[in-house]
Amino acid sequence: MWDHSLVRRGDGRLSHDLLPGDKGPQDECGVFGVWAPGEEVARLTYFGIYALQHRGQESAGIATSNGEQLRVYKDMGLVSQVFDDQTLSALQGHIAVGHVRYATTGASAWENAQPTLGPAGAGTVALGHNGNLTNTRSLMEEVRRRSGADLSGELGRGSSTDTAVITALLAGTPGEPVRSLEDTAMDVLPMLQGAFSLVFMDEHSLYAARDAHGIRPLVLGRLQRGWAVASETAALDIVGATFVREVEPGELLIIDEDGLRTRHFARPEPRGCVFEYVYLARPDTQIAGRSVNAARSEMGRVLAREHPVEADLVIPTPDSGTPAAIGYAQASGIPFAQGLVKNAYVGRTFIQPTDTIRQLGIKLKLNPLREVIAGKRLVVVDDSIVRGNTQRALVRMLREAGAAEIHVRISSPPVKWPCFYGIDFATRAELIANGMSTEEIRASLDADSLGYISPEGMIEATAVPEERLCTACFTGRYPVPVEETTEPAESHRGSYHVLPHRPSPTLTIAGAQ
C-alpha cells in the first residue's frame, strides 16, 4: 500500500542555453543511488546529484527507505533550490536514490519529475532513469493490456515520461501471484529498447541496471559502510566512494543486507555514447578507463593537426571548449588565452526571443576581453555546432571587440542526425550541418575559416574502438531500432501537461503507515 496524501508542489528552473531559443545539446538526466546503513543517505545523495547537476536542471528529487517506508521529495528547480537542511532531515533511512532532470521544451511539469513512485510486488518502487526508450508506444500498450483503461500510479497522476511506463511495468500484472521486485525487473528489463541507466529501490534493496548497449553511463562505487551507483565517477568522488567498475551493459545489480549480487538480462553489445566524451560528462569523470578531460584535450590536438592555421591566440568557448582549446594550443604552438569571460549564473530567459533579446542573449553569458583579443587572429574552439545561432552571435561579438581574424574549430564532427537515446538535439531539419556544407556554414557564421574534427580523429581521442561507440548523431547509424512513431528526445516523451496552478513542493510517504 502507498499513500499519496502528503502532496505539496512548486516551481523554479534554470538551463544553460547561450541564446534564448537556441538550445545546444543537452542530456536528459543524472542518477545516483546509495545503500549505506548508519550513514545519512539523503545527504550523500544530495551531494551526489549536486555533482550531476550539469546533466539536468529542470527538477531534482530524492527517495529514501528506512526498511518500512519510502519517502520521496521532488520539485522543479536546481538541487540547491529544491532541498534544504530541514527537508533532508525528514528523509531518513539507509537506502536512497536521487535524480536530476533536464527541461526539454514543453516538458516542464512537476508530474515528470523523478524519482517516480509506484507499487511493486508487496512493496513500493522509486525509480530514476537516464536515457530514452525507443519502444515506448508498444510498452504503453502492454501497460494498458495489464491494467485496462484506468491508469494508476505516475501515469494516472499525469506523468507522460517513458520512466513512468517502466515504473508501471514493474508493478507486475494484476491478479497474478505477487513476485519480488528483482524477479519482476528481470522480466521487464529485456522488454525495454533504447537507452536506459536505471537506479531504483524498494523498501529493502537498491537496484541498478543498464541497457544491453550501455549507451548512457553508470558506475559502481564502494563506501566505507556501503555502496553507491552514479551516472559519473565524479559523483562518486564527491561522496568519498571508491570507484569499483562500470555497471556492465545488460546487467542488473542488487544491493541489500546480504551484500552485492549481479544478474544479466541481456547479452552485452557495448555502444557507449561518444558525445559523453565530447560534451555531456564532467571533465573530471572517467569513462571506460579514460579521463574525459584527457579525451577532450586529445581532440584538440587532433583538431590542430587536421586543421592548422596561422593565428595569434587560441581561445575556448567556455566552459565546454576549454580542454580541446588547450590541446589545440599545445599541438599548434599558438598561445592559449581566456578571451571570453563567462557569467556562470545566467540560466534560460523566459522573455520572448525577439531579435533584440537574441542579440543581447549571448552577452548575458559571455563577454569578450577586448584588451586580449583586439587586433589578434583568433582560433575559437567549441565542442559542437547545432543550429549555429550561438556561434554566429559569438563571431559577431568578437569582431565588434576588434578581432582581426576568427577561425572556428569544432572538436566534434558535423551533427547531422537527431538522438533517440537521451540527448536533446534539434530536429534534423534544424541541424545546420544537415542542409549545408562546411563552407556554407562558415559563410553563415561569418568566420574566416571553419574546421571540424574528423570522425576518425574524435574516436581516436576516446581510446575506445569505433565498434564499441554510438556515433549516430554524426553518422546516422543507430545501434537500436527506432519505432516509426518515435521522435527525438525532445518530443519523444509524448504530450506533456503543464499545471495551470502549482501548489507548493512534495513529500510523499509510501509503504507501511
The catalytic residues are 29
Q: Find out whether 160 is annotated in a ligand binding site.
A: no
Q: Which three cell numbers stand for residue 501?
A: 496552478
Q: Are strands 377-382 and 313-316 parallel, antiparallel or unpaired?
A: parallel
For residue 319, say if its preceding peptide bond is cis, omega within 30 degrees of 0: yes
- Burial (Cβ within 10 Å: 0-12, 13-18, ≥19) of residue 85: exposed
Q: How far apart are CA 141 and CA 158, in angstroms?
A: 17
Instruction: Give phi and psi for 382, each to the nearest 5.
Output: -135, 165
CB 313 within 8 A of CB 335: yes
Joined together, the cell numbers standing for residue 430 give 534544424
Q: Please identify which residue in the block is written with the cell numbers 575559437.
A: 380
Q: Cell numbers for 123, please give them.
A: 512493496
Q: Give the burial class of 492: count Cβ atoms within 10 A of its Cβ; 0-12 exposed, 13-18 middle, 19 or more buried.
A: buried
Does 446 count as an annotated binding residue? no
The Cα 379–Cα 367 span in angstroms is 17
470 is in an annotated binding site: yes
Q: Please indicate if the annotation marks 383 as binding a ligand.
A: yes
H or E, element range at 378: strand 377-382
Return the amino acid letter for 266: A
Alpha-carbon distance 403 to 373, whole Å? 6
Helices marked H in 210-368:
233-238, 275, 292-306, 322-332, 355-365
Q: Is 116 in a helix, a strand, or coil?
A: strand
Question: For the chain, how big is the Rg over CA atoms in Å?
Answer: 23
3-state SS string for 238-259? HCCCEEEEECCCCEEEEEECCE
Cα separation, 21 vs 358, in Å, equals 8
Is 473 within any annotated ligand binding site? yes
Cβ(387)–Cβ(431) under 8 Å? Answer: yes
d(CA 481, CA 452): 28
The secondary element (H helix, E strand) that includes residue 33 is strand 29-35
Which residue(s) pair with 229 in the sheet? 33, 220
Q: Tally DSSP H helices, then E strands, for the chain.
A: 19, 26
In the three-class reduction of DSSP (H, G, I as helix; E, B as strand; rest coil), residue 343 is classed as: coil
**Which residue do the cell numbers 527541461 mark?**
103
Q: How far is CA 97 from CA 30, 194, 205, in A?
A: 11, 22, 11
End-to-end CA separation in angstroms for the chain: 9
Element (H, E) at 141: helix 136-147
Query: Annotated binding residues, as ranges?
Result: 273, 320, 382-383, 419, 470, 473
Query: Annotated binding residues for [4Fe-4S] cluster, as ranges?
Result: 273, 419, 470, 473
